[in-house]
Chain A
Amino acid sequence: MSETIQSVKITGWAYRGLNIPDYDINIFDPNSNRNFSLILQLSGQGKTTTLNLLRYCFYNFLDEIEDKNKRKKEFDALSNKEKPNDYGEFTLKLKLNNTINYKITLKFDFKNYKINYFTTAGDGEGKEPGLLLPESLKEHLSSEFIKKSFFNLELANELLDEQEKETDKTIINICKLYNLDKISKAFDLFKDEYETKTGRLNVTLSKLQEMKHTKNKIEQSLNNILKKENEYFEKRKILKNEFNTLEKEEKKIRLENSEINKRLTAAENEVSNSEAELSDGFYNCYNFLKNPMKFSNEFFDSLNNFEDKLTKMGIPKSVGDSFFSELIESKECLCGKQLDEEMKENIQKNKYKFLTDETYNVLNPIKSKIKETKKIEKFLFDEAFIDLTKKMGNLIRAKNKLSNVTENIDQEKLIQITTRKSEIEHEINPINEFLNETINKRWSETDTPDTESKKSLIQQLEYINSQIENATNTVDLGKKIKFIKKFLEEVKEESLEEISNSIVEKINLEVPRVLKYEQIFVKSIKNKITFKDREGAAQGQIVRITYLFLIALLGRSNLKFPFIVDSPVTAMDDVSRGEIAKSLAQFIDSQYIAFLLPPERGDFADVLDEELNNNINLIVAFPKNKFTENLITQAKNFSQNTELEKWTNGIVSYNRDFFYDFRGRLIKQDI
């Protein structure tokens, strides 16, 4: 097909045998003027996976992963965990120039970790093996272009990293400035051919061939170094992203731990107080137990009676014997009453009932103890024992709390993070050395084409070129080509600068609206985004600036290609969300598809919906399983335009009301 492709729209996609339910998502486009679609999904239900699958439809990123384990990991992430299959399928439906239907099918071979592509052009059913898109479209589909068009928030940090020069790379790619390099390269090839064909040689043919051979070796080596440089740039970017993610995670854990430390101290104090209180309670109860006569009134009375009797018998034998003998001898009692013979006989008989000295010595302390014992009401010791039980309960609760708090201190995760961070630093060091030093080493006379210095290879190439020009009498041609190449390089540099300035202007025009309460203006986007009068910005601000950057940049592309975003407004406050929605509605004239989490819906989806006069697809999709029963129940209340039974393991709803009503909160509790 020779038609120039000016617009690409996604009209839907279908999952089969992957880790996402086997359902179809339809992106409706009535009158070919609906550009916006929001797909609401809970975390972990396929947002990022879908973004990756869509990316793979245009560019086989998986094929580029050389590390077998990494490749396996990527494939495993796509495979169905519940019903493992050897194969899975993802089909993307497209409409080119609003008229031509295309279908791209990816067949995932989970055994061999491969993707097989199939293309259906037009409305037919037949599939041709391969990714067979029109040439003019293929020309656009570089990995960089796809990465920027299918955007996640990692890019936000990359755009602020000077080392990666991501802004320049992105502009060069999207605005196709690299075509100037292609022209430049064509001149090199032309010269090379001309030199070979010319018959006007100043050296022997074999000498020329030797020179050409050296040139080829240098060029080959340079290409290898350039390839390695790109790979290292990519690798460093990935490692840095991982490092940043780990840093954020570490910061979060440390912050949580500092909160936990406070809670830990409070929980420890509570345990210590409960232990002291329990100890007091035990002491109190022990006191009761030590004085069992307190337990029962009957017992108390008997003991007192016993004591009373002891008191009555309270005269020791040694004293008693002489006392009673003297009493019998006397005429009258101590009370003054006359003692008759019968009374004296009784005294004589009973005086032996009194205590021995030994018994008296033992019983006397008991007697005094009984005397000291006060009568206590039953409810008092009942209360003491109830209190003891309560205090025991308090201690158990305090200990549980302490254990919960301790469990939340994620020391293990922190250790893992620190270990991985240090591994990353270790991995980045040789990459930095290569990118900063090795490839920039100055040329030296002893250098050979085996060197890894890009600078040296370029110089070697210049030298051999000049030798060949002399040998082939093409010095004039060489000069002309050098001139045109320099000219093209300057056009590229200046165009990049002009485009960058124009993007900065466009971003800054939007800042007062999108960053209403903390206006941050962009100073430059040369190599990276820098701000006026400040070093950096908060994550939410960076994300908004990134959005403005991409909106301005993608707006320059002549190809209207879908702009697809995962979690479009996380880390943004309500005002910014609303303003980003307005910017999108105003400036995006290609298709926009966003995968949204429920918390992102407010102040974004509604604003976008209003700005677009409801000309927007609002879709909800989730799996059907025991964890989503609550969602299924919700969906049943919005059965219109909701595919409740169409798919065995998932539900897709195109019901606007359900989109706004959908809540995942309960599912969390269930889990």
Chain B
Amino acid sequence: MKIDPKIIEVLKKKIKQENLDEQIYLILENWLKELNDGKDVNQNEKIEAILKKINV
């Protein structure tokens, strides 16, 4: 099921603002979609993938 377009819009914008890897955006978008559909699988894989892409 679709996520509210404004969430996607803001997510994209913030990823750019924070100079984050686009992969993070894709993972988060997909994750939100899953949650919208009442699913939430392979959390750890997604988290690890995101953490790998973050440099702080």
Chain A residues near B (Cβ < 8 Å): 4, 6, 134-139, 175-177, 179-180, 182-183, 186-187, 189-190, 477, 479-481, 483-484, 487, 490-491, 494-495, 498-499, 502, 556, 558-559
B26 interface residue (CB < 8 Å to A):
no
Kindly count the residue-residue contacts between A and B in the assembled complex, taking CB atoms under 8 Å apart: 87
Main SS of chain A's interface residues? helix
For A499, the chain B residues whose CB sits under 8 A away are 4, 6-7
A190, B44: Cβ atoms under 8 Å? yes
Cα of A176 to Cα of B3 in the assembled complex, Å = 8
Residue of A nearest to B37 (CB): A136
Cα of A137 to Cα of B39 in the assembled complex, Å = 11
A176, B36: Cβ atoms under 8 Å? yes
The answer to whether A179 and B36 touch (CB under 8 A), given A483-B56, A484-B50, A558-B1, is yes
Cα of A189 to Cα of B40 in the assembled complex, Å = 14
Residue of B nearest to A187 (CB): B47
Within B13-56, the residues touching A (CB, 8 Å) are 13-14, 18, 20, 28, 31-32, 35-40, 43-44, 47, 50-51, 54, 56
For A179, the chain B residues whose CB sits under 8 A away are 32, 35-36
Residue of A nearest to B12 (CB): A491
B36, A175: Cβ atoms under 8 Å? no
The answer to whether A177 and B7 touch (CB under 8 A), given A182-B35, A484-B50, is yes
B7, A480: Cβ atoms under 8 Å? no
B40, A491: Cβ atoms under 8 Å? no
B1, A175: Cβ atoms under 8 Å? no
B38, A138: Cβ atoms under 8 Å? yes
A495, B47: Cβ atoms under 8 Å? no
B37, A176: Cβ atoms under 8 Å? no
B36, A135: Cβ atoms under 8 Å? no
CB distance from B36 to the nearest CB of A (A): 6
Residue of B nearest to A178 (CB): B35
A186, B36: Cβ atoms under 8 Å? no
CB distance from B37 to the nearest CB of A (A): 5
B47, A190: Cβ atoms under 8 Å? yes
B47, A186: Cβ atoms under 8 Å? yes
For B56, the chain A residues whose CB sits under 8 A away are 479-480, 483
B14, A139: Cβ atoms under 8 Å? no
B32, A498: Cβ atoms under 8 Å? no
Cα of A167 to Cα of B37 in the assembled complex, Å = 24
A183, B28: Cβ atoms under 8 Å? yes
Residue of A nearest to B43 (CB): A186
For B37, the chain A residues whose CB sits under 8 A away are 4, 135-136, 139
CB distance from B14 to the nearest CB of A (A): 5
Cα of A187 to Cα of B10 in the assembled complex, Å = 21
For B31, the chain A residues whose CB sits under 8 A away are 183
Residue of A nearest to B20 (CB): A487
Cα of A479 to Cα of B51 in the assembled complex, Å = 10
CB distance from A466 to the nearest CB of B (A): 15
For A480, the chain B residues whose CB sits under 8 A away are 51, 54, 56
Cα of A498 to Cα of B4 in the assembled complex, Å = 11
Choice from A4, A180, A183, A498 contacting B1 with Cβ under 8 Å:
A4
For A189, the chain B residues whose CB sits under 8 A away are 43
For B1, the chain A residues whose CB sits under 8 A away are 4, 6, 136, 558-559
B54, A491: Cβ atoms under 8 Å? no
For B11, the chain A residues whose CB sits under 8 A away are 491, 495
For A183, the chain B residues whose CB sits under 8 A away are 28, 31-32, 35
Cα of A556 to Cα of B4 in the assembled complex, Å = 7
For B7, the chain A residues whose CB sits under 8 A away are 175, 177, 180, 491, 495, 499
CB distance from B20 to the nearest CB of A (A): 8
The answer to whether A176 and B47 touch (CB under 8 A), given A139-B37, A491-B11, is no
For A502, the chain B residues whose CB sits under 8 A away are 6
CB distance from B49 to the nearest CB of A (A): 12
Q: List 17 A-B contacts (CB under 8 A).
A: A135-B38, A138-B38, A139-B36, A175-B6, A175-B7, A179-B35, A179-B36, A186-B40, A480-B56, A484-B50, A484-B51, A491-B11, A494-B14, A495-B4, A495-B11, A498-B9, A558-B36
Residue of A nearest to B50 (CB): A484
A176, B14: Cβ atoms under 8 Å? no
Query: What are the 4 closest A-B residue pairs judged by CB atoms, nearest first?
Result: A139-B38, A135-B38, A179-B35, A175-B4
A558, B2: Cβ atoms under 8 Å? yes
A495, B38: Cβ atoms under 8 Å? no
B14, A491: Cβ atoms under 8 Å? yes
For B44, the chain A residues whose CB sits under 8 A away are 190
For B14, the chain A residues whose CB sits under 8 A away are 487, 490-491, 494
> Besides A134-B38, A136-B37, 5 other CB < 8 A contacts?
A135-B39, A136-B36, A183-B35, A190-B47, A499-B4
Residue of B nearest to A189 (CB): B43
Among B4, B20, B44, B50, residue most surrounded by chain A Cβ atoms (within 10 Å): B4
For B2, the chain A residues whose CB sits under 8 A away are 558
Among A135, A498, A556, residue most surrounded by chain B Cβ atoms (within 10 Å): A498
The answer to whether A487 and B18 touch (CB under 8 A), given A4-B1, A182-B40, A480-B51, is yes
Choice from B9, B10, B35 contacting A176 with Cβ under 8 Å:
B35
A136, B32: Cβ atoms under 8 Å? no
Cα of A624 to Cα of B50 in the assembled complex, Å = 65
Cα of A6 to Cα of B1 in the assembled complex, Å = 7
CB distance from A497 to the nearest CB of B (A): 9
Among B7, B11, B31, residue most surrounded by chain A Cβ atoms (within 10 Å): B7
Cα of A176 to Cα of B51 in the assembled complex, Å = 24
For A190, the chain B residues whose CB sits under 8 A away are 43-44, 47
Residue of B nearest to A137 (CB): B38
For A139, the chain B residues whose CB sits under 8 A away are 35-38
A495, B6: Cβ atoms under 8 Å? yes
A176, B4: Cβ atoms under 8 Å? yes
Cα of A190 to Cα of B45 in the assembled complex, Å = 10
Cα of A173 to Cα of B10 in the assembled complex, Å = 17
CB distance from B45 to the nearest CB of A (A): 11
Cα of A303 to Cα of B15 in the assembled complex, Å = 124
